[in-house]
Amino acid sequence: MEIWQAIILGVVEGITEFLPVSSTGHLTVFAAFIGLDPAAEEIIAFNAVIQGGAILAILVYFLKDIVDIAKGWTIGVFNSDRRGREYRFGWYVIVGSLPIVIAGLLIEDYIDAVFNLYAVGIGAIAWSFVMWWAERVATQQRGEAHINMKDALFVGGIQVLSLFPGVSRAGATMTAGMLRDFDRTTATRFSFFLGIPALVGASALEMKDAVGGDLPLASLITGVIVSAGVAYASVAWLMKFVSNHTFMPFVWYRIAFGVIIIAIVAAGLVPA
């Protein structure tokens, strides 16, 4: 892998990881267009490792919140008289993360077997209609202070669907939050916090393959740095965007992206 290829994939990862548009689908298509084999183990590992950059970005962006939650949760575990909002929110993130961890371990091989760009295109289009429906029915009357354990279990359960091609982890969790009548900002923030354990786990599983593989260290470092910088800007932009806009632009984008993927694969421009 050349440095310029690592930069392109880092930019794609940084932009798409936390947007509800399927980062895996975008990385697969762009890797093919710049002359890489998306199915090669080292490219799959590279994509997982540059997620580390996205993780770093969200850790930095929400650092104060994360420290407060971790501190509140730790204090609450040992002192029941000091169990406040941060303590409860910590448990919501932990419990909400369990479904995808368990499902990932149980059906990882099956998901890998069915993954192809046709599935990504179909998944992107199909989930767009779920997002559209959530926009239609959500009351948005609940903020972060109203999150409870039922919400965590529901959003965490829906997050499992992101294992299937084209759905998108962010798309699944943001939609689930809307279906629980969260306002868009709350749905987006909760999606980010649930994303941290999921992304850390996925990246760690592939780290050994990338480090021990044939990928140049310079390309790995470049991809992570670029991904981190772009992801930080993407998160900052999205938090401002959802405070004043609906998710509908992402719905239309996903439909267009899904149609384009199916078309270019059918035309033989990119292997499925």
Assess if residue 216 is contained within a domain.
yes
pTM for the full predicted model: 0.89
pLDDT at residue 269 is higher than 80? no
Place of tokens 């009548």: 181
- What are the CA-CA distances from residue 65 to residues 17, 60, 144 (Å)? 20, 10, 12
Is residue 49 scored above 90 in pLDDT? no
Judged against a pLDDT cut of 60, whether residue 33 lies above it is answered with yes
Segment 191-209, tens digit of pLDDT: 999 988 888 877 776 665 5
For the residues 54-79, what does the mean pLDDT come to? 94
180 in any annotated domain: yes
Across 35-53, average pLDDT: 84
Flag whether 272 is in a domain: no
Q: What's the number of CA atoms in the CB half-sphere (13 Å) around residue 59?
A: 12
What domain range is 120 assigned to?
3-266
CB hemisphere CA count around 63 (13 angstroms): 5
The number of residues in the chain equals 272
At residue 34, φ and ψ (nearest 5 deg) are -100, 15
Task: Tell me the C-alpha distance between 157 and 117, whole Å.
Answer: 24
- Domain total of the chain: 1
Residue given tokens 């998306």 in the structure block: 38
Residue type, 113: A
Domain assignment present for 252: yes
Residue pair 261/117 in contact (Cβ under 8 Å)? The answer is yes
User: 147-186 pLDDT, tens per residue?
Assistant: 999 999 999 999 999 888 889 999 999 999 999 999 999 9
Count CB atoms within 10 A of the CB of residue 231: 30
**Is residue 271 in a domain?**
no
Residues 6+ apart with CB under 8 A from 228: 14, 53, 54, 56, 57
Alpha-carbon distance 236 to 268, whole Å? 37
Reply yes or no on whether the pLDDT at 73 is more than 60.
yes
Residue 68, domain member (yes or no):
yes
The pLDDT assigned to 1 comes to 82
From CA 1, how far away is CA 216, in angstroms rounded? 7
Distance in angstroms (rounded) separating the CA atoms of residues 62 and 170: 16
What pLDDT, in 10s, does the model give residues 3-25? 999 999 999 999 999 999 988 88
**Cα 62 from chain centre:** 16
One-letter-per-residue 3-state SS of 151-214: HHHHHHHHHHHHHCCCCCHHHHHHHHHHHCCECHHHHHHHHHHHHHHHHHHHHHHHHHHHHCCC
